[in-house]
Amino acid sequence: MSLVLGIESSCDETGVALWDKHQGLIAHRLYSQVKTHQRYGGVVPELASRDHIQRLPRLCQDALDEADCSAENLDAIAYTAGPGLIGALMVGASFACALAYTLKRPALPIHHMEAHLLAPLMENPELKPPFVALLVSGGHSLLVRVEAIGKYHILGQSLDDAVGEAFDKTARLLNLPYPGGPALAQLAEQGDPKRFEFPRPLLDRADCDMSFSGLKTHVRRVIETNPGESHAPDIAAGFQEAVVDVLVSKAQQALRKTELQDLVVSGGVGANRRLRTRLNQTLQQNGQRAFWPAPEYCTDNGAMIAYAGFVRLGDAPANGRPVIQSRARWPLSELKPPGST
Ligand code: KG4
Ligand code: ZN
């Protein structure tokens, strides 16, 4: 029997979940700090840390109650060790390690982007590497060749803003509330994506690198020449279509280069409906397959941390003593396959 508690606290969502070897996800709790940060138009790191520590004990208890088990039933505690906001990470790491120490169970430090990358496997156990992963979140835009779990080769990345960051900054230019990505996507549904012309950065290059900051600058110019709220849906739709074009094209490029057939998409922007529709259509036409987590597991959550912890049970230190680990920056390519550290 293996029961893993997962704790996510890298940014503004407090996520807690339980993954069981036989039953899969048996409890899932998420507290979003949106209301705390909304009035500031973005995440305030200090407030995020304070809120995580307020929420974690209750969320853990609720998750254990939901699964009808007690803390003594846990076999390991997995927590997000990075990358992310350092204060927020340290709260989750300290909480997880204190619990692990008390229960005499191992604490497993999890890479947040590896957890995003593995999330589609929770519901698709038949999916096996090698495959290509498109990871699109608030802090990262990565195309990764996944040779095996823990063996990651970066094929391309954003040279400037992450794609979620571009969504958020563009949403702010359009006076949309935080969190900007979902608000912009919703507004775009009422807009005409062809009304304004938007660039498709780096599509003339044969590599898998991306760039999104120019798009945001272009939005600013379009707003200046077309002031007024009535243009906002068309601007949002035009921006979103340009981003989706770039992601679809670069994902295809990665599949071509690696000669692989399967694409895994995850991270907050993976919840975007237009991206899901366009990528599914394109890959289907080419006889390739796209795998996505359900939208609630694309954005930050504890389930992906519990699952990654289960996958990495072999990394538990032999002496069992938890060591608090937190890294604001942590390249995905530094990871090793489970059991080899
Ligand atoms: O993975 P995530 O929850 O947190 C990070 O690891 O960064 O991703 C958050 C990002 C934010 O930039 C948010 O605006 C964006 O994902 N996002 C979306 C959508 N839902 C979340 N962007 C576009 N369309 C969406 N539906
Ligand atoms: Zn994330």
Please work out whether the CB of residue 167 comes within 6 Å of at least one atom of ligand 1: yes
Confidence band of 1 (pLDDT split at 50, 70, 90): low
Across 247-272, average pLDDT? 98
Please work out whether the CB of residue 243 comes within 6 Å of at least one atom of ligand 1: no
Point out the least confidently predicted range of 164-168, 259-263, 319-323. Answer: 319-323
* Predicted local confidence at residue 201, as pLDDT: 97
Instruction: Indicate the SS3 state at residue 52.
Output: helix
Residue 298: nearest ligand to its CA? Answer: 1
pTM of the model: 0.97
Instruction: Indicate the SS3 state at residue 12.
Output: coil
**Pairing relationship of beta strands 3-8 and 13-20 according to DSSP bridges:** antiparallel
Residue listed under structure tokens 């036989």: 22
Res 326 pLDDT > 80: yes
CA–CA gap between residue 109 and residue 7 (Å, rounded): 10
Q: What residues does each domain of the chain span?
A: 3-117+298-334, 127-292
Across 48-56, average pLDDT? 98
* Ligand 1 atom at minimum distance from 84 CA: 6
User: What pLDDT, in 10s, does the model give residues 126-139?
Assistant: 999 999 999 999 99
* Predicted local confidence at residue 320, as pLDDT: 72
Q: Which CATH superfamily is domain 127-292 in?
A: ATPase, nucleotide binding domain (3.30.420.40)
Mean model confidence pLDDT for the chain: 97
Q: 3-117+298-334: which CATH topology?
A: Nucleotidyltransferase; domain 5 (3.30.420)
* Predicted local confidence at residue 246, as pLDDT: 98
Please work out whether the CB of residue 138 comes within 6 Å of at least one atom of ligand 1: yes
* Ligand 1 atom at minimum distance from 271 CA: 26
Cβ–Cβ < 8 Å for 41, 22: no
Q: Would you say the CATH fold of 127-292 matches that of 3-117+298-334?
A: yes
Please work out whether the CB of residue 181 comes within 6 Å of at least one atom of ligand 1: yes
Cβ–Cβ < 8 Å for 42, 115: no
Q: Which helix (H) or strand (E) holds 222?
A: helix 213-225
Across 73-81, average pLDDT? 98
Please work out whether the CB of residue 83 comes within 6 Å of at least one atom of ligand 1: no
Please work out whether the CB of residue 137 comes within 6 Å of at least one atom of ligand 1: yes
Question: Which amino acid belongs to residue 270?
Answer: G
DSSP track, 261-309: -EEEEESGGGG-HHHHHHHHHHHHHTT-EEE---HHHHSS-SHHHHHHH
Residue 189: nearest ligand to its CA? Answer: 1
Residue 164: nearest ligand to its CA? Answer: 1
Confidence band of 154 (pLDDT split at 50, 70, 90): very high
266 bridge partner residues: 135
| Distance from the alpha carbon of residue 304 to the mean position of ligand 2, in angstroms | 10
Residue nearest atom 8 in ligand 1 by C-alpha distance = 268
Cβ–Cβ < 8 Å for 332, 113: yes
